């Protein structure tokens, strides 16, 4: 890829929080803008400028990373007869493992994570077909090195010393299936993988994508408890896709700039347990009762819409990969020292009587730093009723996951 001078490269996605600068939590962004007549030799291959600036309206690089990029943007003299060139050397220092990397979510997710300037090592694991994925991905000229691991015998090596583990492994939904129909297969997969995580990288951030998330996160928690390494601050159910969908649908409905829109989504990650808090939308916007009901149902059923549209060929793989990559990037920014990172996630929680609940959280170097309680205050009557209605279903899903582990012995 090549571009002429004054070209701009923007890598990333809109952050979860689209609030203004004076808000309690700001829209976190990242991007790289390059402008000039000089040539910039970097992994992007762009012709651009002699300086780097960080765009505040995108989100693939945190402020700590931007600072590192700016400091590492050093002019290196060539021979007198040649032009001098400037080099961007992003600080890539984190190791990420994707378990289920050859699947429908795993492959595009691996590509998106490979683009992150914060990742030094990308480890791809699956039971089969992962070598080709790794070989293909390794040709992308971004900083991270790619390694492949196949089968149970190589799982421990994959997990050694990683900072973030992402688990999309499992079977996808098919038409007519609910997320709960996936339980018996995916529950065993998640249990086995988490046992390996507990043994090899117990301090890593763990991102659970495998459905049903409402049950697989409690499964992971119970396994980690039995292994004696459970840290509730580092276990996350990835519900970012619900936020991504809510933001998209509201922006379309209200003709808003998508980058400005932020809708918190609480509860769980299936059906009526997905509760978008439209009254908390930023920027503030008015909805009729009919719009609230229609948008809520649309957001709750968006996954089913994709499954049916693909007619047996898969589930929401691309949008899920995008959302998961965004959450991974937020985690990496937090690990890198960014003190202003907020996302919605399904975590151990005391915001309700349920042991696990999705809500806005603040991320830090040690994982969950705070649960944002304020967004559950001052709900509309519709939202309050919906919140109470989702609790029995979410509770049953949590108990199902916990009971599964208690019936299945955890390997020593």
DSSP letter for each residue of 216-261: HHHHHHHHHHHTT---GGGEEE--HHHHHHHHHHHHHHHT--GGG-
DSSP 357: E
What's the whole-number average pLDDT of the chain?
A: 83
pTM: 0.81
* pLDDT tens sequence across 97-135: 999 999 999 999 999 999 999 999 999 999 999 999 999
What share of the chain has pLDDT > 90, as a percent?
70
| d(C-alpha 345, C-alpha 373), whole Å | 13
* pLDDT tens sequence across 24-35: 444 443 444 333
Residue 389 is predicted with a pLDDT of 98
Confidence of residue 412 (pLDDT cuts 50, 70, 90): low
Q: Is the pLDDT of residue 357 over 70?
A: yes
Please compute, for residue 215, the number of CA atoms within 13 A of its CA located in the half-sphere on the CB side: 25
User: Which of 78-87, 117-126, 179-188, 361-370 shows the lowest mean pLDDT across its residues?
Assistant: 78-87
* pLDDT tens sequence across 142-180: 999 999 999 999 999 999 999 999 999 998 777 777 666
Active-site residue, selected from the candidate residues 71, 139, 269, 406: 269
Active site residue 269: yes
């Amino acid at each position: 890829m090549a571009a002429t001078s004054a070209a701009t490269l923007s890598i990333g996605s809109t952050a979860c929080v689209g609030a203004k600068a004076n808000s309690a939590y700001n829209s976190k962004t990242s991007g790289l803008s390059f402008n000039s007549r000089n040539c910039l030799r970097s992994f992007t291959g762009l012709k651009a400028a002699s300086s780097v600036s960080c765009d505040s309206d995108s989100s693939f690089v945190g402020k700590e990373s931007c600072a590192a990029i700016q400091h590492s943007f050093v002019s290196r003299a060539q021979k007198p007869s040649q032009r001098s060139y400037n080099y961007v050397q992003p600080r890539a220092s984190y190791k990420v493992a994707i378990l289920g990397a050859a699947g429908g979510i795993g492959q595009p997710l691996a590509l998106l994570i490979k683009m992150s300037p914060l990742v030094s090592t990308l480890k791809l694991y699956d039971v089969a077909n992962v070598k080709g994925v790794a070989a293909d991905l390794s040709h992308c000229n971004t900083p991270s090195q790619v390694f492949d691991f196949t089968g149970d015998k190589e799982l421990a090596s994959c997990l050694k010393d990683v900072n973030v583990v992402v688990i999309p492994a499992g079977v996808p939904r098919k038409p007519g299936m609910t997320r709960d129909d996936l339980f018996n297969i995916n529950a065993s997969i998640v249990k086995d993988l988490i046992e390996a995580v507990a043994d090899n990288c117990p301090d890593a951030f763990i991102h659970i994508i495998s459905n049903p998330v409402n049950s697989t996160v409690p499964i992971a928690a119970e396994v980690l408890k039995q292994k004696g390494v459970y840290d509730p601050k580092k276990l996350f159910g990835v519900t970012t896709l619900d936020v991504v969908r809510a933001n998209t649908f509201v922006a379309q409905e209200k003709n808003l700039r998508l980058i400005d829109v932020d809708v918190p989504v609480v509860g769980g990650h299936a059906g009526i347990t997905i509760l978008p808090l439209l009254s908390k939308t930023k920027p503030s916007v008015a909805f009729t009762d009919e719009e609230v009901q229609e948008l809520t149902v649309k957001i709750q059923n968006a996954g089913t819409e994709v499954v049916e549209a693909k007619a047996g060929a898969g589930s929401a793989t691309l949008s899920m990969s995008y959302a998961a990559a965004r959450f991974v990037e937020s985690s990496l920014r937090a690990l890198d020292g960014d003190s202003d990172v907020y996302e919605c996630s399904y975590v151990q929680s005391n915001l309700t009587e349920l042991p696990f609940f999705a809500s806005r959280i603040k991320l830090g170097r040690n994982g969950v730093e705070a649960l944002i309680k304020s967004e559950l205050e001052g709900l509309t009557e519709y939202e309050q009723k919906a919140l109470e209605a989702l609790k029995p279903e979410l509770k049953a899903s949590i108990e199902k996951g916990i009971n599964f582990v208690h019936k299945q012995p955890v390997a020593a």
